[in-house]
Structure 1
């Protein structure tokens, strides 16, 4: 059912897709769709699946030489997620609004956020043996990522600036939290 919702959201937009349409295309009743949740909840679930797929793909990639630059390594962690939001701009804006309204019902998203932090921590530890610093940078990176996404979503800057602004923030963090012990 989520695949049908994702397809219809992509074809008709969030506002142009109805629960009835999702039910019809999925071959189920409206009640069956509503048992999962309202349209906002379905959108959150669709994005949760997309985010989980990006994490899964990153975990399945064959080992390659990591970037030689910490900024590049941290940009590589968040880059695929930024691309996913940019590719789905109108839906991403509705998703952000749905998250705000969802409150504590986004446990899955918290787990996905924890995975992003773990990936950033692992990238940081390729350049430093300081686990406490790696945790701090990973947490900061996650909050910078969220802040940039929300600023982009409300139109503070355009699509073409999202990656550039994120990279600039990461460069600043790397400069401030320069790893003291290099590991290779």
Structure 2
């Protein structure tokens, strides 16, 4: 019983430390940029040692965690089956909060995508985001009357399109309006496949 309590206390302490480190990293990345922020500065801001920061993750891992949490906090719930919102409207508007996040700080968005393209194991949160997003999009298309298998495939297409569009946006190859337009066109294409 004592050992279980000690393990629980250690796990809780680690979670609190990781939260402090992540919050400190988010503030510093926003204020100083990704390249202008050091692990030592994150440690000082969080009030922990450099080792504690590194236990939470290196700078790239922390940026991924910051972005993944910010994205997850903005995910809209799928419309109810009785909703009057069209599947196209929901699918195309679903990504607006994410686009806003990426246009708020272009330097951080580019740094985030560089970390994603490295395919590191700590980017596992992206897998969780994909699962949640595809689940919401599948539900929206299912609620609009699309058969489940088609809705799942449509959700996969939408998520993949979204990632590609965000990469183009982060690279400066497009602008937010063009990105939103192309995401809507993809939503129209995906939902038209059933007709």
TM score, norm. by length of structure 2: 0.81
Q: What residue ranges of structure 1 are gaps of 5+ in the alignment?
A: 180-184
Aligned equivalents of 2:79, 2:178: Cα separation in 1: 30
* 2:109 alignment counterpart: 92
Distance 1:34 1:43 in 2: 13
CA shift for structure 1 position 63: 6.8
Match of 2:64 among 34, 38, 44: 44
Q: May I ask how many residue pairs the two structures share in their alignment?
A: 175
Contact 2:79/2:90 (CA < 8 Å) preserved in 1? no
Q: Does 1:178 align with 2:194?
A: yes
Are residues 64 and 15 of structure 1, via their aligned partners in 2, closer, same or farther at CA, if it must alter by over 3 Å?
farther
**Which piece of structure 1 moves more, 78-87 or 16-25?**
78-87
- Structure 2 vs 1, CA of residues 38 and 127 (structure 1 numbering), >3 Å: closer, same or farther? same
For residues 21-60 of structure 1, the aligned pairs below 5 Å read 21-55=41-75, 58-59=76-77
User: Offset at 1:62?
Assistant: 10
Task: Note the C-alpha offset of 1:158.
Answer: 1.9
Instruction: Work out which of the two has the higher radius of gyration on C-alpha atoms and give 1 or 2.
Output: 2
Structure 2 unaligned blocks of 5 or more: 1-20
Provide the secondary structure at the position in 2 that maps to 1:106.
Answer: helix
Residue 123 of structure 2 corresponds to residue 106 of structure 1: yes
How far off is 1:88 after superposition? 2.8
TM-score when normalising by structure 1: 0.86
SS in 2 for 1:14: coil
The answer on whether the counterparts of 2:81 and 2:143 sit within 8 Å (CA) in structure 1 is no
Match of 1:68 in 2: 85
Post-superposition offset of 1:112: 1.2
